[in-house]
Amino acid sequence: MTDKGLQLDDGSRVGVIGGGPAGSFFSIFLLDLAERMGVDIQVDIYEPRDYTRPGPVGCNMCGGIISESLVQNLAAEGINLPPTVVQRGIDSYMLHMDVGSVRIETPLQESRIGAVYRGPGPRDLKEIKWGSFDGFLQNLAIEKGANVINQRVDEILWAGDLPQIKIRKGEPHTYDLVTISVGVNSASRKLLANLNFDYEPPKTTKTFIQEYYLGEEKIQEVMGSSMHVFLLDLPRLEFAAIIPKGDYVSVCLLGEDIDKELIANFMSSTEVQNVFPPAWDFDARSCNCSPRINISGARQPYDDRIVFIGDSGVTRLYKDGIGAAYRTAKSAATTAVLQGISAEDFKEHYWPACRKIEIDNMIGQMMFMVTRIIQGQQIARQAVLRMTANEQKKADSKKRMSMVLWDMFTGSAPYRDIFIRTLNPAFLARLVGDLAISVTGR
């Protein structure tokens, strides 16, 4: 590590590897802040994906939920998500368990969660009705002045102390700062081979996403504008959701070692069958994938003139990955423009934002452990269902369990906040009461 003193000045060049949400957010905020500070910076984004083409070539493999808090933060940033990109505004959640289902309404009766596709849509998409979320952000970055190079980066080289980006056929380009925002599914060993510091990629686990075509009208009829979440007593299944989009629905499974057996058990459960139209053919899928997601953050995601953001740095556990991409991208961009681009600058001003997410993820691990216990105990599931259903029936009641579940499922609040709310004596007293009713069978 060198001392402070490395700065972005007029004419500085920044290379961004990866043009997903983290790379685009970083470019937008870097260029915006530089303009405010009167500094002229050139930004090149390297992204091989074509966000106008359906299927894997334009997809970044994700459930595609823009959380309530992120929708609000982006609006405050002046980034309003249009209905040409948001395929469905989500206004409620349906929680499904073997003991019953309950609908959890949004606190303000307002659609503040966006269901999107990262690309234009699944492989068999016949007509593009909605734009890609990643493409929308990339266009905003271009409007801010970023230059997009539609090439895959082969490796990072060094010209003295300046990093270089090399694509397969071409001379390396030299930059003052290189930002790495590739997803955990895209980062190649070769790309990271020449980093001469202690970066260690995040640990990951496999998830499963499957798309079904139902058509807009059928989705409205059977699922409405609700996201459907499942707490089922299936071994190795941590969490599952069915997310309605425009003409398709996405089925997302999180858990340990998700394999064909677990997927089949989930799809054949009564709770899932009841959400789909009667006699639905579950083999008639449009496409599926098994992307990896982070279960821990990267070690030292920065050095002089290099910073890792989004999934290749630190992201939130299981939820709101795009929200974490926004937070890390914004923190790295403000550090680069206002503080500097040395390892010391990133350590002092960027790393705390990553640590905050990591510490919150530790609390999240504990919260999911409790969720697993609830999943495995019918008495607990009955108590949670009863408490939530009673809250939803009474318009003026304090919706303590509903809000805990809402924030756990939507990723709208930090896990720490949710945990603190579960320690509220009134919450605990009510839960104990509902547990007692379940035990006594009254």
Partner 1 sequence: MAIGDLGKVYQDGEEIICEGEQGNCMFVIQAGEVEVIIAGEGGQEIRLAVRREGEFFGEMAIFDRDVRSATVRALGEARVLTVDKKNFMRRVHEDPSLAFRLVETMSRRIRELGEEVARLQKAE
Residues that bind partner 1 (CB under 8 A): 29, 33, 36, 68-69, 71-73, 75-78, 80-89, 108-112, 114, 130, 216, 220, 225, 246, 327, 330-331, 334, 353, 356, 412
Q: For partner 1, which is the closer residue by CB, 112 or 173?
A: 112
Distance CA 205, CA 254 (A): 9
Distance CA 390, CA 382 (A): 12
CB of 334 to partner 1, least distance (A): 5
Rounded to 5°, angle at Cα 388 from 375 and 315: 60
CB of 414 to partner 1, least distance (A): 8
Q: How far is Cα of residue 434 from the mean position of the Cα atoms in its chain? A: 33
CB of 110 to partner 1, least distance (A): 4
Distance CA 118, CA 9 (A): 33
CB of 40 to partner 1, least distance (A): 19
Q: For partner 1, which is the closer residue by CB, 33 or 232?
A: 33
Do 268 and 258 contact (CB within 8 A), yes or no?
no
Q: For partner 1, which is the closer residue by CB, 172 or 224?
A: 224
Do 122 and 54 contact (CB within 8 A), yes or no?
yes
Q: For partner 1, which is the closer residue by CB, 220 or 397?
A: 220
The CA–CA distances, whole Å, from 272 to 11, 36, 95, 218 equal: 56, 51, 11, 16
Q: For partner 1, which is the closer residue by CB, 68 or 311?
A: 68
CB of 101 to partner 1, least distance (A): 22
Q: Is the dihedral of CA 23, 148, 291, 154 positive or negative?
A: negative
Distance CA 326, CA 306 (A): 18
Beta-sheet pairing, 147-149 with 42-46: parallel
Return the H-helix or E-strand segment holding 289: strand 287-289
Q: For partner 1, which is the closer residue by CB, 306 or 357?
A: 357
CB of 88 to partner 1, least distance (A): 5
Q: For partner 1, which is the closer residue by CB, 87 or 315?
A: 87
Q: For partner 1, which is the closer residue by CB, 41 or 263?
A: 41
Other CB atoms closer than 10 Å to residue 137's CB: what's the count?
28
Return the H-helix or E-strand segment holding 399: none
DSSP bridge pairs for 213: 248
CB of 64 to partner 1, least distance (A): 12
CB of 130 to partner 1, least distance (A): 7
Q: Is the dihedral of CA 218, 219, 220, 221 positive or negative?
A: positive
